[in-house]
């Protein structure tokens, strides 16, 4: 890794240094050539003007001698022509053998009175020359400088630039190698640190005091690792606390992933299955109960809490199963053992049923003998008063035992309901016919509303009549001051919603959640005076539950009360 980083950095440095050296070489050489050319041209112009001045003023030497001397002094070829372009003198050739030069560019400018310049190859020797011509009286003079002389002058500079660039390149290369080696070591430390963290070593640290970008990266990574280690420690602590909590539970808990494989199970689950479930093994290998498996699958699939009962996970034991979805997929299930609770509940129901059954005979006897004594002529008024008290209390105890027997049979499921399709209007009419006269005695109007679009429901006619009886009796006893009671029904989700509404004093909100508990009374004194047993609403609740519906109450003080319950629609109605 370090070698790769080193070579990559070296390659970058080499490219940068090479490009810099090449650019410097080309730039300096080009500038030098351009500067040298401009300098030669300026010198040649001055020498040409001096040549023209001597030709104008020197009367002691011939034109040929002047041309030869000036050409030798300037290191160039000197030529003198007349206005027609005929060569009068030349420092390197016989004028009689030379062509007419009137058409040459530099002479054209000179004959026009200006200093002319041109650069071209010589026709005789094929070497590039720089030509400068100046006007004189009766013609023009010209100096021709060979340009290869510039290359001769330029060669030492190119050699110096080459060796200087090479020395700078080697020096820069050594510096780049040292810098890349240094940077490579620093980056390699960061890479090694990151690999340790990736392998799970959160105790790894990288100390860096540098303030450059690499140092800032190292410091940020070190700080991030410290925070990750702290977070991981907190997560581990929370996980251990959660495991301890779950293992201390009496309820069995098991968690599965989206594929139905066991991810975790507490000790209670292991004791329940006689051996600890294997992690990452399918749940069906450990538990074969179809209701339990279906609840977990439904919770994971629908992302909703699902509850069910199971009787086959352990022989002779009943469990309440609650399955809830997990955020990452899968589900967690809690199994609560209801065996002892149900056994005690059954014992309670049996005790109540047996006691109630045993009390029926003596209570009937007490009522019969009391009524006989009341009809006897020997009983005086004082005796009759005591006998009437005995009769009333015996009747109340008889009603109580009957309600207890009814409630016990409904709760235990022993009572079999004759469920048949029936219209909601028929159920309401039965209740109206049964209580019309009783309502008149209370001076209360009993009316029916909202039955036109309700359709048929699945119900036991007698059981639903008992519900209406309890609700209407309560309304007459406690809400007769409203002078009106409304019976009604309206469509609801998957069925029909029935209601009994009164316009009495209403019920305080703190009593509403407990109205359907056994023996719960809002006004205890008034309830005893009216002869109620406190079981009517509890019986109504369990009848509604047995029909697959629900029952509840809505009320406000001084605004009356409404008792509502639902029944499922018949199959034909649902279709």
Residue 439's alpha-carbon distances to 435, 475, 481, in angstroms, are 6, 10, 12
Enter the CATH code of domain 341-412. Answer: 1.10.287.130
Q: Which residue has better confidence, 425 or 176?
A: 425
Give the pLDDT band of residue 525 (cuts 50, 70, 90): very low
- Give the 3-state secondary structure of residue 548: coil
Burial class (CB in 10 A: 0-12, 13-18, 19+), 542: buried
Residue 182 pLDDT:
74
Average pLDDT over residues 456-480: 86
Percent of the chain with pLDDT over 70: 79
* Under 8 Å between Cβ of 570 and 458: yes
**Per-chain mean pLDDT for the chain:** 78
Answer yes or no: is pLDDT of 107 > 50.
Answer: yes
Q: Which residue has better confidence, 142 or 284?
A: 142
Residue 370 pLDDT:
77
Give the pLDDT band of residue 487 (cuts 50, 70, 90): very high
CA nearest to 40, candidates 80, 77, 75 = 75
Torsion of CA 97, 102, 105, 111, to 10 degrees: 130
Answer yes or no: is pLDDT of 124 > 60.
Answer: no
Average pLDDT over residues 275-288: 79
Answer yes or no: is pLDDT of 85 > 80.
Answer: yes
Residue 499 pLDDT:
92
Q: How many CA atoms within 13 Å lie on the side-chain side of 251?
A: 15
Answer yes or no: is pLDDT of 526 > 60.
Answer: no
Residue 240's alpha-carbon distances to 24, 55, 245, 250, in angstroms, are 69, 114, 8, 18
Task: Write out the two tokens for 152.
Answer: 């001769």
Q: Which of 29-33, 266-270, 287-291, 432-436 has the lowest mean pLDDT?
A: 29-33
Answer yes or no: is pLDDT of 113 > 50.
Answer: yes
Give the pLDDT band of residue 311 (cuts 50, 70, 90): confident
Task: Write out the two tokens for 502.
Answer: 């009164």
Superfamily of domain 249-337: PAS domain (3.30.450.20)
Answer yes or no: is pLDDT of 103 > 90.
Answer: no
Give the pLDDT band of residue 188 (cuts 50, 70, 90): confident
Task: Write out the two tokens for 107.
Answer: 């002479």
Where in the chain are all domains bearing CATH 3.30.565.10?
A: 420-574
Strand partners, 91: none
Answer yes or no: is pLDDT of 462 > 60.
Answer: yes
Answer yes or no: is pLDDT of 417 > 50.
Answer: yes
Residue 308 pLDDT:
86
Give the pLDDT band of residue 10 (cuts 50, 70, 90): low
Residue 564 pLDDT:
92
Answer yes or no: is pLDDT of 416 > 80.
Answer: no
Residue 3 pLDDT:
56
Residue 120 pLDDT:
81
Average pLDDT over residues 432-451: 86
The residue whose two tokens read 């004791």 is 271
Q: Give the separation between CA 553 and CA 564, rounded to whole angstroms.
A: 6
Task: Write out the two tokens for 365.
Answer: 């006897």
Sign of the four-CA dihedral 108, 111, 113, 117 = positive
Average pLDDT over residues 277-304: 83
Q: How many CA atoms within 13 Å lie on the side-chain side of 238?
A: 6
Q: Which of 23-37, 283-297, 511-525 has the lowest mean pLDDT?
A: 23-37
Answer yes or no: is pLDDT of 573 > 60.
Answer: no
Please state the three-class secondary structure of 73-133 as a single string: HHCCEEEEECCCCCEEEECCCCHHHCCCCCCCHHHHHHHCCCCEEEEEECCCCCCEEEEEE
Percent of the chain with pLDDT over 90: 3
Residue 442 pLDDT:
84
| Residue 79, C-beta contacts closer than 8 angstroms, at least 6 positions apart | 67, 87, 89, 90, 91, 101, 141, 142, 143, 144
Give the pLDDT band of residue 316 (cuts 50, 70, 90): confident
Q: Which residue has better confidence, 421 or 450?
A: 421
User: In CATH, what class is 420-574?
Assistant: alpha beta
Residue 151 pLDDT:
57
Where in the chain are all domains bearing CATH 1.10.287.130?
A: 341-412
DSSP codes of every residue in 188-223 = HHHHHHHHHHHTT-TT--------SHHHHHHHHHHH
Answer yes or no: is pLDDT of 563 > 90.
Answer: yes
Residue 566 pLDDT:
92
Task: Write out the two tokens for 136.
Answer: 């004189």
Answer yes or no: is pLDDT of 424 > 80.
Answer: yes
Residue pLDDT, tens place only, 205-259: 776 666 677 777 777 777 877 788 788 788 888 877 777 776 777 788 888 888 8
* Under 8 Å between Cβ of 117 and 37: no
Q: Which residue has better confidence, 37 or 283?
A: 283
For the chain, what is the total number of helices (H) and then of strands (E)?
Answer: 14, 17
Please give the biggest Cα pair distance in the chain.
196
Architecture per CATH, 2-152:
2-Layer Sandwich (3.30)
Where in the chain are all domains bearing CATH 3.30.450.20?
A: 2-152, 249-337
Average pLDDT over residues 511-519: 82
């Amino acid at each position: 890794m370090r070698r790769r980083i080193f070579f990559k950095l070296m390659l970058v440095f080499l490219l940068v240094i090479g490009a810099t050296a090449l650019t410097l070489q080309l730039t300096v050489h080009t500038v030098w050539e351009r500067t040298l050319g401009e300098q030669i041209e300026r010198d040649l112009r001055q020498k040409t003007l001096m040549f023209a001045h001597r030709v104008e003023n020197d009367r002691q030497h011939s034109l040929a001698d002047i041309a030869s001397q000036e050409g030798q002094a300037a290191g160039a070829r000197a030529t003198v022509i007349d206005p027609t372009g005929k060569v009068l003198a030349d420092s390197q050739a016989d004028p009689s053998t030379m062509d007419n030069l009137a058409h040459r560019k530099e002479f054209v400018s000179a004959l026009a009175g200006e200093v002319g310049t041109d650069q071209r190859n010589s026709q005789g020797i094929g070497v590039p020359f720089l030509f400068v011509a100046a006007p004189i009286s009766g013609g023009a003079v010209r100096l021709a400088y060979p340009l290869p002389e510039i290359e001769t002058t330029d060669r030492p500079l190119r050699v110096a630039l080459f060796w200087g660039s090479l020395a700078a390149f080697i020096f820069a290369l050594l510096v780049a190698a040292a810098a890349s080696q240094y940077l490579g070591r620093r980056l390699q430390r960061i890479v090694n640190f990151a690999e340790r963290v990736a392998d799970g070593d959160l105790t790894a640290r990288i100390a860096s005091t540098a303030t450059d970008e690499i140092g800032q990266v190292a410091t940020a990574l070190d700080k991030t690792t410290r925070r990750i280690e702290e977070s991981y420690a907190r997560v581990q602590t929370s996980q251990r606390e959660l495991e301890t909590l779950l293992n201390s539970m009496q309820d069995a808990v098991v968690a599965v992933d989206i594929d139905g494989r066991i991810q975790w199970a507490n000790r209670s689950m292991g004791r329940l299955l006689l051996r600890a479930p294997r992690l990452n093994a399918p749940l069906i290998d450990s538990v074969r109960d179809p209701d339990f498996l279906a609840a977990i699958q439904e919770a994971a699939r629908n992302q909703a809490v699902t509850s069910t009962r199971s009787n086959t996970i352990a022989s002779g034991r009943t469990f309440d199963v609650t399955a809830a979805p997990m955020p990452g997929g899968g589900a967690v299930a809690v199994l609560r053992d209801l065996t002892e609770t149900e056994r005690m509940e059954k014992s309670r129901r049996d005790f109540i049923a047996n006691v109630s059954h045993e009390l029926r005979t003596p209570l009937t006897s007490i009522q019969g003998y009391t009524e006989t004594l009341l009809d006897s002529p020997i009983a005086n008024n004082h005796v009759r008063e005591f006998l009437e008290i005995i009769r009333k209390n015996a009747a109340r105890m008889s009603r109580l035992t009957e309600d207890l027997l009814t409630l016990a049979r409904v709760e235990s499921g022993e009572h079999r309901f004759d469920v048949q399709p029936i219209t909601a209007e028929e159920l309401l009419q039965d209740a109206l016919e049964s209580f019309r006269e009783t309502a008149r005695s209370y001076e209360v109007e009993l009316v029916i509303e909202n039955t036109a679009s309700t359709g048929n429901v699945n119900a036991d006619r007698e059981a639903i009549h008992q519900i209406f009886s309890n609700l209407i009796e309560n309304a007459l006893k406690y809400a007769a001051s409203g002078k009106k009671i409304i019976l009604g029904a309206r469509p609801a989700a998957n069925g029909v919603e029935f209601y009994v509404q009164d316009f009495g004093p209403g019920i305080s909100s703190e009593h509403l959640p407990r109205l359907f508990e056994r023996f719960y009374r809002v006004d205890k004194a008034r309830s005893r005076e009216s002869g109620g047993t406190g079981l009517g609403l509890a019986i109504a609740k369990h009848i509604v539950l047995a029909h697959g519906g629900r029952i509840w109450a809505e009320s406000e003080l001084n605004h009356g009360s409404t008792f509502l319950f639902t029944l499922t629609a018949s199959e034909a109605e649902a279709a």
